[in-house]
Amino acid sequence: MLVYTIKELCRTCYTCVRECPAKAIRIVGGQAEVITDRCIACGNCTKVCSQGAKVFLNTTDRVLKLLGDQPKVAAMIAPSFPAEFSDIPDHRMLIGMIRSIGFEYVTEVSFGADIVADKYKKLVNESNEYYITSDCPSIVNYIKYYHPALADSLAPIVSPMVAMSRIVHKKYGEDTKIVFIGPCVAKKAESSEIDEAITFTELRDLFAQLGISPANSTPSDFDPPFGGRGAIFPVTRGLLQTASINDDAITGNIIAAEGRIGFQEALKEFEAGLIKTQHVELLCCEGCIMGPGLSKNGKQYNRRALVSSYANRKMNEIDQNGWKSAFDEFSDLDLSVRHKAEDHRLLMPDEADVTDVLISMGKKTRKDQLDCGACGYESCVEHAIAIKKGLAEVEMCLPYTIEKLHKSVTDLALSNEKLSSMRQALKQSEKLAHMGQLSAGIAHELNNPLGVVIMYSNILLDECKPDDPVREDLKLVVEQAGRCKKIVAGLLNFARKNQVNHQMVNIGELISHSLESIIVPANVKVSVVNKTTNPDAMLDSEQMMQVLTNLIKNAIDAMPGGGAVNILLEDTLSHVSITVGDTGSGIREENRSKVFEPFFTTKGLGHGTGLGLATAYGIVKMHKGQITVESNTDPAKGPTGTSFKIVLPRRKE
């Protein structure tokens, strides 16, 4: 993986998506992730990421290991080096610093560019075909991956780097190891003929790591063969100028395009046959002088001027006869290559699916498609296609997200009371969880000694004579021990983590079964109003019956002087609700927030454990439902009484 993301630095700005010509960036959970098999290693994302979240593979350690293991290692320097090392005006000092790292040879790739330019000139002049230059590995990758039909149109000539590696091997021996140093990330994986490749910024790191500076280095010149006009190769139209090819707008037949947008448009028109009588020179960056392997914030035209100035000095100082002799020596070297298509295109989704995505983002008509580009895609349709391909997320659409945020804020402002209730419910759930753990521990510890007390108190009572004065005391012990047993059982029931056994249940029948298990006093009237259109829901009938019998018993207990228990059944398409109300005296306001807390009860001493409503609350929550309470204790405000409302999802969530 040449380019990757440091996830903790990614800030969800989508700049990398916008700048990636291959759309090899996938957004997952709001974070940008490089898709290795789609990446053309252009490094655009590393250049534009202000947070430093996009980085390329650092291979300086591998280079140091190679230098330590091998006696003959040659460094090949790309001709764009003047654009990076303007702080070292004498190129011989830079070469001396590179030698200090441990390189046996330091050669210039510009000679390889001279040879390649000559091959390309012959190809243009002698062939009836029209070609696309193949010296930029990112362009080659892009064409093979995303315009595979044009793979045969790539010039069948290796890049200057590969050409120079073959020259070095021929001149200095096949056993010579080669390290390329340049501005390009894609060079790291372009060819197996190069042993390692590092960028100019990585070279600076090596200087700093090894303590190498102009002050402690000896100036040196390149090892032969020396480059000529190829020194101008890294700027736009550099190939044409190196080869002295006519690129006149009137009489020439060469089109040059550079940069993310320019090269893509040129390829589209070339493939469509709109420029079928033109050769095309393409660079993924704005010239190699703006590659991702150079220091950031450099100015394009200043760098161009630095390269031009160096090339001008070089051509004034060059030994033309020596250069010509070297050129003749290597001009017959085989520099041919065949580029094979590697189709990485994703299948286009159906138009109907794309339309569905657009509608989901509120883009129901063409007028709704703003094409603002904030998502990183050129148009809303391209964004929708990327979503269907699994490369993008709906939330990347800024207008949609802002509108959704506004709606959320509005909904939040209109439901403060509901929000407060949700917070209270969360607090209650946390409290119940802690109480459940505590209760389980207490209950298990009490069970064994309590069993002994119950057993022996019953034995003593059975053996006690009817007229024995301690018989009444023993009865009281047995009775209270039995009550303790019920409390412990209640604790275990409250604490246990039940699994909900969902079954289709008719809630009307559930109410009937619950009432059958309860003794209703004569002075209490129970009424059931069923307003459901579909009474069936997926519930655990046993657990929900426990909840309902508890609520109905509490309602009856709240009316010792008699009254009415009113049960209301309602439903919606997705939920069912059960309301159990009474006409008792109500629950005081200060106690309403406590009714679901374990051990809280308004009943008198010895009546109730305070676990019934806490258990009911837990069961309802396990059903992914809600239980709420409303109560009135003031006759001036209306009928007194309390009602508990349970809302449950109709289907298992």
Environment class of residue 633 by beta-carbon count within 10 Å: exposed (0-12), middle (13-18) or buried (19+)?
Answer: middle
Residues 95 and 200 in one domain: yes
What are φ and ψ of residue 480, in 5° steps? -75, -30
Write phi, then psi, for 399 (nearest 5 degrees). -60, -40
Residue 390 lies in a domain: no
Largest Cα span, the chain:
138
Q: Are residue 111 and residue 236 in the same domain, yes or no?
A: yes
Q: Are strands 254-258 and 279-283 parallel, antiparallel or unpaired?
A: parallel
Predicted confidence at residue 172, as pLDDT, reads: 96
pLDDT tens, 453-471?
Answer: 888 888 888 888 888 888 8
pLDDT for res 448: 67
Between residues 238 and 84, the one the model is more confident about: 84
Do both 425 and 533 map to the same domain?
Answer: no
Is 240 in the same domain as 132? yes
pLDDT of residue 287: 87
Are residues 188 and 81 part of one domain?
A: yes
For residues 186 and 293, give the distance between their C-alpha atoms in angstroms, rounded to a whole number: 10
Same domain for 14 and 79: no
Residue 251 has pLDDT above 90, yes or no: no
Given this model, what pLDDT does residue 163 score? 96
**Eight-state DSSP code of residue 588:** -
Residue 248 and residue 142 share a domain: yes
Give residue 499's pLDDT: 66
CA atoms within 13 A on the CB side of 578: 29
Residue 636, pLDDT above cutoff 70? yes
Mean per-residue pLDDT for 138-144?
A: 95
The answer to whether residues 80 and 43 belong to one domain is: no
Q: What is the CA radius of gyration of the chain?
A: 41
The CATH number for 452's domain is 1.10.287.130
Residues 475 and 577 in one domain: no
For the chain, the residue count is: 653
Cβ-contact 300, 276 below 8 angstroms: no
Out of 275, 295, 330, pick the residue that ends a domain: 330
| 534-588 pLDDT tens trace | 999 999 888 888 889 889 988 998 898 999 999 999 999 999 999 999 999 888 8
From 497, 522, 547, the end of a domain falls on 497
**pLDDT score, position 607:** 54
Q: What is the pLDDT of residue 458?
A: 85
222 and 238 within one domain: yes
Q: Which domain holds residue 253?
A: 58-330
- How high does pLDDT run on average in the chain? 86
pLDDT value of residue 193 = 94
Q: How many domains does the chain contain in total? A: 4
pLDDT tens for each residue of 391-405: 888 888 888 888 888
Q: Quick one: what percent of the chain has pLDDT higher than 70?
A: 89
| Pair 441, 504 in one domain | no
Task: Examine the pLDDT at 608 and tell me if it is beyond 80.
Answer: no
- Return the closest-CA partner of residue 287 out of 454, 78, 440, 51: 78
Here the CATH number for the domain that contains residue 545 is: 3.30.565.10
User: Averaged over 54-59, what is the pLDDT?
Assistant: 92
Residue 358, CA distances (Å) to 26, 354, 374, 397, 558 in order: 19, 6, 15, 10, 56
pLDDT reading at 166 higher than 70: yes
What three-state secondary structure class fits 603? coil
Instruction: Give me the pLDDT at residue 73, please.
Output: 96
State the Cα–Cα distance between residues 627 and 50, nearest whole angstrom: 50
**Judgement on whether residues 166 and 315 belong to the same structural domain of the protein:** yes
